[in-house]
Chain A
Amino acid sequence: MTARPVVRALLGDGLARLCTALLAAVILLAVAGPLLSPWSAEDIDWAALEAPPSAGHWFGTDLVGRDLFTRAAAGARVSLTIAAIATLVSVLIGVPWGAAAGYLGGRVDTVMMRIVDVLYALPFVLLVILLVVVFGRNPYLLFAGLGAVFWLDLARIVRGQTLRVRQAGFVEAARAMGAGPATIIRRHVLPNVAGPALVYATLTVPGVILAESFISFLGLGVQEPDTSLGVLIADGAQTMESAPWALVFPALLLAVTVWSINMLGDRLRDEIDARSGSAGHAGTRGSYNLRPARHGARP
């Protein structure tokens, strides 16, 4: 994948530029936010307990007087990190799975994709919740669990791409020269499906962020004094009336993040689809991932 379609997707028109700017702002906040504020995420300002936004506290303070701007920045950082790690996990599972299914084809393909079909229909987030309840709130478990939920889409996409690559001349040549399936998948298939896989992987980020916020809302998320957007929203909803700012700012931050990634992801995908000439599925991604085409139902 060359850089040009990416640039076009990110900066092509006003809306794209807006989304890119918003996303950049969120990332900047997550990375540098704590540096901008004189408060740390744990400092208590005894003079401003549950105080509205002011010059001293740009987003106000929470119920024990901690600066919400700093905490929102820290929360965004945690949410994005969780999303990144879960996405990585989903790539590590989904890409090999899809590549193997697509390359090996036949019965193996049918069984592997049938498994994906079945898993698709399970309320996995509930299983993650169960895991968290049962084994305690370990963030690593959360990452891994969420990653294990979100690999399904990726497996489908990669399989489709692999089917195309498999027909290519250089793969035929490699096979003729006696290379085994593992080698061919590693040397030839994966590099060629990496681009589209990356794009679809970004589309799992909003889903992970939302899933994390669900889990946090149920009180099963990240532990104090660490925080995440989901934790901040859950806390904010508890003090919605006495301190609405504690809900509004984290909720806005979450909405902006999810919205801009969704928009940009759609555009990136459209660019890829246009380039590779595959049938587009111009629908949405985001929290509730769609199945591009049903695999098993064909006669």
Chain B
Amino acid sequence: MNQPRTGRALLARLAVSLVTFWVIVTAVFFLLRLAPGGPFDGERQLPPEVEENLRAAYHLDEPLVVQYGRYLGMLARGDLGPSFKQKDFSVNELVASGAPVSLTVGGLALLLAVAGGIGTGVRAGLAPGSALDRTLMGVAGLGLALPSIVVAPVAVLVFAVLLGWLPAGGVDSPAHYVLPPVALALPFLAAIARLTRGSVAETLTEPHVRTALAKGLPAGRVLRRHVLPVALLPVVSYLGPAAAAMLTGSVVIEQVFELPGIGRYFVQAALNRDYTLVMGVVVVYAAFILTFNLLVDLAYTRLDPRIRLGGR
């Protein structure tokens, strides 16, 4: 039967994910320590005795391997350690306060990109070559070519400063969650639209769809039953890389909109050599991405008709 095999395959995936997670954590840990400078370089001079005190307080005086072991041990207990720079918070607290913001913005953006992208793509794909198709795809092409580093600041200027419709930054109310997800989602929406369009147009020419239409089944039903399940497969497999790319985008978006998410910590903490905070953000990112990809894998296995046919 198919069930055990799927189960085993998923277990194997899980194992690969865990190994990947470990590789990422290890690579970033040593990468950071290779960097010149340390967390206590500041503009004001530190007398050597003070710097020694600081280093001892954070176990930075131990051999690197011991520090690595200590970190893995802490990680296993779910403890991301103290932040070197945000001295009044543990990394767990910082992540706990930042992750909901990042996930809300990212989740809304993903939703918007998927819903908007598929909607647009299906409309265009149903009538390949039509004026509607060309217009939508032309706009989508532009969406891909205008990076969020241009769209986001201009959006703030227009909608927050000039028009005063929406807030310029922060997360005090639902209105604060409008501009950032939109700015983040646009290129992905465009990408998904183009992907869906091509896939739908192609599926329409396949024999089983033509047969269904020839039998006089209603177009809406053919679309739902025969076209979309096949046509959306590439979209589903795009979600993994899209989520990864969105994380990258969120670093910029959180900066432009001054959102208190974890993306903002990433660059700042790396520049400040706040080892534990960078590690914390990387751990959360990696865990999120790997879990998301497992889910996508699962969805894919469910959706793929070849697998379903093979199982029956």
Q: Do chains A and B stick together as partners?
A: yes
A interface, CB within 8 angstroms of B: 114, 118, 120-127, 129-131, 133-136, 206, 210, 213-214, 217-218, 220, 230, 233-234, 237, 240-241, 247, 251, 254-256, 258-259, 262-263, 279-284, 286-294, 297-299
Chain B contact residues, majority secondary structure? helix
Q: Is the CB of A282 within 8 A of B201?
A: yes
Q: Is the CB of B267 within 8 A of A129?
A: yes
A247, B266: Cα distance in complex, Å:
26
Interface residues of B in 169-188 (CB under 8 A from A): 187-188
Q: Which of A230, A255, A299 has the most CB of B within 10 A?
A: A299
Q: How far is the CB of B262 from chain A (nearest CB, A)?
A: 12
Q: Which of A121, A262, A286, A289 has the most CB of B within 10 A?
A: A121
Complex interface: chain B residues within 8 A of A294 (CB): 233, 237, 300, 304
Q: How far is the CB of A179 from chain B (nearest CB, A)?
A: 34
Q: Which of A126, A251, A259 has the most CB of B within 10 A?
A: A126
CB-defined interface of B174-217 with A at 8 Å, one 1/0 digit per residue? Answer: 00000000000001101100111111011000000000000000
Question: Is B92 in contact with chain A by the CB < 8 A criterion?
Answer: no
Chain A contact residues, majority secondary structure? helix
Interface residues of B in 72-126 (CB under 8 A from A): none
Complex interface: chain A residues within 8 A of B233 (CB): 294
Q: Is the CB of A283 within 8 A of B198?
A: yes
Question: Is B31 in contact with chain A by the CB < 8 A criterion?
Answer: yes
Q: Is the CB of A218 within 8 A of B251?
A: yes
Question: Could you write out 18 A-B pairs with CB less than 8 Å apart?
Answer: A118-B16, A123-B248, A127-B28, A133-B35, A133-B267, A133-B271, A214-B147, A214-B248, A214-B252, A241-B157, A254-B145, A256-B145, A282-B198, A283-B198, A284-B191, A288-B241, A291-B234, A299-B2
Complex interface: chain B residues within 8 A of A213 (CB): 147, 149
Interface locus among B38-46, B56-64, B136-144: B136-144
Question: Is B54 in contact with chain A by the CB < 8 A criterion?
Answer: no
CB-defined interface of B149-160 with A at 8 Å, one 1/0 digit per residue? Answer: 110011001000
Complex interface: chain B residues within 8 A of A283 (CB): 191, 194-199, 234, 238
Complex interface: chain A residues within 8 A of B222 (CB): none
Q: Which of A214, A220, A289 has the most CB of B within 10 A?
A: A214
Q: Is the CB of B147 within 8 A of A254?
A: yes
Q: How far is the CB of B279 from chain A (nearest CB, A)?
A: 11
Residue of B nearest to A126 (CB): B248
A129, B268: Cα distance in complex, Å:
11
Neighbour of B191 across the interface among A237, A263, A286, CB < 8 A = A286
A214, B144: Cα distance in complex, Å:
14
Question: Is B242 in contact with chain A by the CB < 8 A criterion?
Answer: yes
Q: Is the CB of A122 within 8 A of B153?
A: no
Q: Provided the pairs A217-B252, A283-B194, A283-B198 are in contact, do residues A123 and B245 lie with their beta carbons within 8 angstroms?
A: yes
Residue of B nearest to A254 (CB): B147
Complex interface: chain A residues within 8 A of B147 (CB): 210, 213-214, 233, 254, 287
Residue of A nearest to B270 (CB): A133
Q: Is the CB of A121 within 8 A of B195?
A: no
Complex interface: chain B residues within 8 A of A218 (CB): 251-252, 255, 267
A294, B13: Cα distance in complex, Å:
14
Q: How far is the CB of A240 from chain B (nearest CB, A)?
A: 6
Q: How far is the CB of A132 from chain B (nearest CB, A)?
A: 9
Q: Is the CB of A125 within 8 A of B248?
A: yes
A234, B147: Cα distance in complex, Å:
12
Q: How far is the CB of A23 from chain B (nearest CB, A)?
A: 12
Q: Provided the pairs A130-B270, A237-B153 are in contact, do residues A121 and B16 lie with their beta carbons within 8 angstroms?
A: no
Q: How far is the CB of B35 from chain A (nearest CB, A)?
A: 4
Q: How far is the CB of B162 from chain A (nearest CB, A)?
A: 10
Q: Which of A254, A262, A282 has the most CB of B within 10 A?
A: A282
Q: Is the CB of A262 within 8 A of B144?
A: yes
Residue of B nearest to A19 (CB): B141
Q: Is the CB of A288 within 8 A of B142?
A: no
Interface residues of B in 238-263 (CB under 8 A from A): 238, 240-245, 247-249, 251-252, 255
Complex interface: chain A residues within 8 A of B285 (CB): 123, 126
A126, B278: Cα distance in complex, Å:
11
A123, B28: Cα distance in complex, Å:
13
Question: Is B11 in contact with chain A by the CB < 8 A criterion?
Answer: no
Complex interface: chain A residues within 8 A of B31 (CB): 130-131, 134
Question: Is B224 in contact with chain A by the CB < 8 A criterion?
Answer: no
A134, B290: Cα distance in complex, Å:
24
Residue of A nearest to B188 (CB): A288
Q: Is the CB of B241 within 8 A of A120?
A: yes
Q: Is the CB of A217 within 8 A of B149?
A: yes
Residue of B nearest to A282 (CB): B198
Q: Is the CB of B150 within 8 A of A290?
A: no
